[in-house]
């Protein structure tokens, strides 16, 4: 059997592989990738399986291999690219805005660095978290930065971005509450320290108070230029 045929057979086996065996199959994954026999959809499926079982480093290594280029600590932090499901891009809710309380878009805006993230709240109860991203970080100190703007935003005590360990659920940091800025861009910044044994760090957008999400939000919030720097 030729190498190509063998790798094709291995790819078929990977499609039927349960999530619990994803890590053990990484040598087969590497061979299929090297022979360019793995469709990106299948690669993303394996990344999702590895994430689901807490194999964060293997999942990120495969994600970067699929990307074919290095990535910043926050992927797509400028919101210039369309969202990719199943990898380490932004995780969005699958339901329609009528059920989640928010519509997500990526328009080009004056004052933004190209495209930006737009969240339009419709007053319905807001499902939390609004969105999030898993970050695979070494233990140490980091600085988060970004930009925020809101128009006609009625969000009670405000929106917050939080950083939480996937192992144990300890919150590491959160931004100050974000409220209406009357159309003016403002800078965001917050330090955080990642302890050993944290697993991945989950960056999520929530409301400061859970009761605000139940009541529903109205107005528009915009985010841009998210970055994380090691100190």
CA dist., res. 202 & res. 126, Å (int):
19
Encoded tokens for 180 = 């209406």
Question: What was the pLDDT predicted at 42?
Answer: 78
* pLDDT tens for each residue of 144-171: 999 999 999 999 999 999 999 999 999 9
pLDDT tens for residues 33-85?
554 545 677 788 888 888 999 999 999 999 998 888 899 999 999 999 999 98
The pLDDT of residue 68 is 85
Share of the chain above pLDDT 70, in %: 83
User: What confidence score (pLDDT) does residue 97 get?
Assistant: 87
pLDDT at 112: 77
For the chain, the domains span 3-67, 91-230
Q: Is the pLDDT of residue 7 over 80?
A: no
- pLDDT at 16 exceeding the cut of 60: no
Question: Is the CA virtual torsion 209, 84, 67, 18 positive or negative?
Answer: positive
DSSP-based three-state secondary structure for 172? strand
Q: Strand 218-230 and strand 140-154: pairing? A: antiparallel
Q: Greater confidence, 62 or 112?
A: 62
Output the pTM of the full model. 0.85
Output the CATH code of domain 91-230. 2.60.120.260
Q: How far apart are CA 229 and CA 14, in angstroms?
A: 36
């Amino acid at each position: 059997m030729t190498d190509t045929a063998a790798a094709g057979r291995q790819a078929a086996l990977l499609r039927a592989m349960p999530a619990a065996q994803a890590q053990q199959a990484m040598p087969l994954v590497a061979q299929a990738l090297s022979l360019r026999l793995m469709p990106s959809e299948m690669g993303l499926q394996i990344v999702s399986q590895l994430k689901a079982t807490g194999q964060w480093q293997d999942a990120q290594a495969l994600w970067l291999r699929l990307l074919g280029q290095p990535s910043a600590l926050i992927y797509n932090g400028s919101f210039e690219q369309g969202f990719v499901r199943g990898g380490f891009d932004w995780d969005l809710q699958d339901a329609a805005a009528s059920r989640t309380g928010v519509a997500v878009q990526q328009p080009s805006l004056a004052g933004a660095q190209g495209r930006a993230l737009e969240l339009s709240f419709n007053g319905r109860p807001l499902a939390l978290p609004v969105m999030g991203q898993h970050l695979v970080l070494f233990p140490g100190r980091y600085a988060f930065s970004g930009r925020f703007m809101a128009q006609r935003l009625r969000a009670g005590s405000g929106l917050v971005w939080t950083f939480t360990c996937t192992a144990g659920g300890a919150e590491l940091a959160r931004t100050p509450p974000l409220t209406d800025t009357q159309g003016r861009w403002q800078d965001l910044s917050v330090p955080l320290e990642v302890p050993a044994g944290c697993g991945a760090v989950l960056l999520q957008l929530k409301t400061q108070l859970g009761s605000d999400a139940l009541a529903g939000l109205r107005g528009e919030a915009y985010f841009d230029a998210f970055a994380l720097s090691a100190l």
